Chains A and B, each alone.
Chain A
Amino acid sequence: MTCSTIMHAEPITVTENVTVGETVKLLAEKRFRSIPIVNGDGKMLGQFGVSNILKLAIPTSASPEGGMSSANFMNDSIEDLQRRLADDWNKSVGDYCDNDTQTLAPEDSLTRTIMCIASGNQDNIPVVDPDSDRLVGIISYWDVLDHLLSEIK
């Protein structure tokens, strides 16, 4: 059994030039934790999810990438947080997605798929065709668990 047997083919994606605001609305509507971002050719660019939205509300320097070990002394008002989020609302989502997303290939083994989900901090793993870099499917932890449990029963 390979990754491609359990993945959802043709997942819902967002193109890179869609705005942050529209992507947020889509995530909220579908209650997704994250969604793959692709370019015009369907090539996988990264993922954009709830944590990316939340990071937009705090100053970029306060994120771990900014070099601060902790910024819990900050005490911004809700208006400040909303204003920062609004500043990025009409920008392209492609500039804000995580581009270090872990991916799998359709031929990857089930064990590798499980290890990838068990070790990572991603809720779902995009499946990418290694030759074309195109997104071909997506696997969530429930997909894997459902498969495992059905075998036991």
Chain B
Amino acid sequence: MLTLISLLAQHGAPAAEAHVIGGANPLVVAGIIFVITYAVIMSEKFNRAVVALLGGGLMILSGVLSQHAAVQAIDWNTIGLLTGMMIIVAVMQRSGVFQYLAIWSAKKVNARPWGILVMLSIVTAILSALLDNVTTVLLIAPVTLLITEELEIAPYPFLFSEIIFSNIGGAATLIGDPPNILIGSMVESVTFNDFLVHIAPIVPLVFIATLLPIYILWGRKLYASDEARQRVLDFRESEAITNPKLLIKSLAVLILVLIGFVLGHPMGIEPATVAMTGAALLLLLDNFGKNAEEKSENVHHTSGEVEWVTIFFFVGLFVIIGGLEHAGALEILAAQVVGLTDGIADTAGVTKALALGVLWISAIASAIVDNIPFVATMIPTLKEAFAQLAENGVGLDAAQQQTVWWALSLGACFGGNGSLIGASANLIVAGFAERAGHPIKFVTFLKTAFPLMIMSIIIATGYLWLRYL
């Protein structure tokens, strides 16, 4: 971090025309704001959205960025996609479908503990691929705690698996995990279908490879008495569906939205448009037959369930990164990235060095810090690095650039498993576990999760190597 500031200070001339207060070098001012906000976000002493918004405000107030430029720096495709999906899930979860899924899957395996662990892991991975991870664990963790309480067994192996597999499953699609949403929204050449073709195939591989150590560690020792299992078998999952009509409406809209993601890009329709239109359609359907007061109350309530804190966090981040970009700081960061490939003359070699470097750096970084700000900074930095490489005569073609994006996606998504603070979903599960009287310890989690994360990155390395490098 400090090297970054000194690096910035060495570059006297600002890249962009800016009027910073006191005539200071915008590069230095932007760099200081960036370093301080990111450090405070990482300290987790204050709410990250508040810190990001303050940092964004400082970028504008200090004159690094005009308000107009700040608004342009916000990636509305990311914001629209996140908000749209959050609204759809908020409506959908009221139908009780997620509890139904969890109970149905537990009963399918005769309520045997290891079977339940595998089934809940599969459900978590699939839901995480289709919805955002935080939402998925928010819905699955409470049912898991209830099931393990009924079975009279420790919930830790179950909750641990759900954390791990939500991050693994989330990697599979553009909408599954915030790093992917960022990559899919900010990189024009990467589409929803590209994720399905290039990233999704590795996910089942990593899933199975991760399940094996979990079986050896805990799975083979899990035991529940017949009476305890009977309690779970006595659950009436059909009664978990509290609103069948709403279930049909929301499933129909979700399917439409997924089709929209697949078909949209060739027609020039971005994911944000699909998600927001789907959200509006579902709100319309949900309000059918209600009176005016109920309608506004319902829309008000649903809007309130959108995680605005996350949305504001993204907005603040985009402005901070916009300031950094405007001041020319990202060019310097990009030059550092390009520096990694010094002495490599062919584009294949450059791709190999960049992809593997990005994969491992983002995995380790995402384990230590929140992967959202990391990826949000890496995307414009890598874009700039590609431009600089082209100037140097080693320009990567579209496919080679995509390989680097896949490396960033896999590193950041899987890297979230490295520690309890690696991804937001991890902390959500830990919160539930603590309230239920089974707190998850940071070090205990780290001891198992970090090696598993490294294993997944080794698999990702092999996958990228064999397929692209």
Contact = CB atoms under 8 A, between A and B. Distances in A.
Nearest to B238: A73
Contacts, number: 60
Given A65-B435, A66-B146, A73 B103 contact: yes
A76 interface: yes
Interface string B66-83: 000000000000000000
Contact of A76 (B103, B145, B234, B437): B234
A106 to B, nearest CB: 35
B446 interface: no
Interface string A65-107: 1111111111111001000000000000000000000000000
Interface string B158-179: 0000000000000000000000
Contacts of B239: 72-73
Interface of B: 93-94, 96, 99-100, 103, 138, 141-143, 145-146, 149-150, 231, 234-240, 242, 432, 435-437
Interface in A17-68: 59-62, 65-68
Contacts of B145: 61, 66-67
B99 A73 contact: yes
A77 B232 CA distance: 11
Given A59-B149, A60-B149, A73-B239, A67 B437 contact: no
A61 B7 CA distance: 52
The 5 closest A-B pairs by CB, nearest first: A67-B142, A61-B145, A61-B146, A73-B240, A59-B149
Nearest to A79: B227
A37 to B, nearest CB: 20
A63 to B, nearest CB: 10
Contacts of A66: 142, 145-146, 432, 435-436
Given A60-B149, A66-B436, A72-B239, 9 more contacts: A61-B149, A67-B138, A67-B145, A68-B142, A69-B94, A69-B96, A72-B242, A73-B100, A73-B237
Contact of A73 (B235, B432, B437): B235
- Determine chain B's interface SS by DSSP, over half rule: helix
A59 B150 contact: yes
A75 B242 contact: no
B236 A73 contact: yes
Nearest to B240: A73
29 contacts: A60-B149, A60-B437, A61-B142, A61-B146, A61-B149, A62-B146, A65-B435, A66-B142, A66-B145, A66-B146, A66-B435, A67-B138, A67-B432, A67-B435, A68-B99, A69-B94, A70-B99, A71-B146, A72-B239, A72-B240, A73-B100, A73-B238, A73-B239, A74-B146, A74-B235, A75-B235, A75-B236, A76-B150, A76-B234
A98 to B, nearest CB: 16
B231 A68 contact: no
A102 to B, nearest CB: 22
Contacts of A73: 99-100, 103, 235-240
A73 B235 CA distance: 6
Contacts of A60: 149, 436-437
B144 to A, nearest CB: 8
Nearest to B143: A68
Contacts of B94: 69
Nearest to B139: A67
Contacts of A70: 96, 99, 240, 242
Contacts of B143: 68
A65 B94 CA distance: 17
A32 to B, nearest CB: 28
B244 to A, nearest CB: 14
A99 to B, nearest CB: 15
Among the interface residues A72, A73, A77, which one has the most CB atoms of the partner chain B within 10 A?
A73
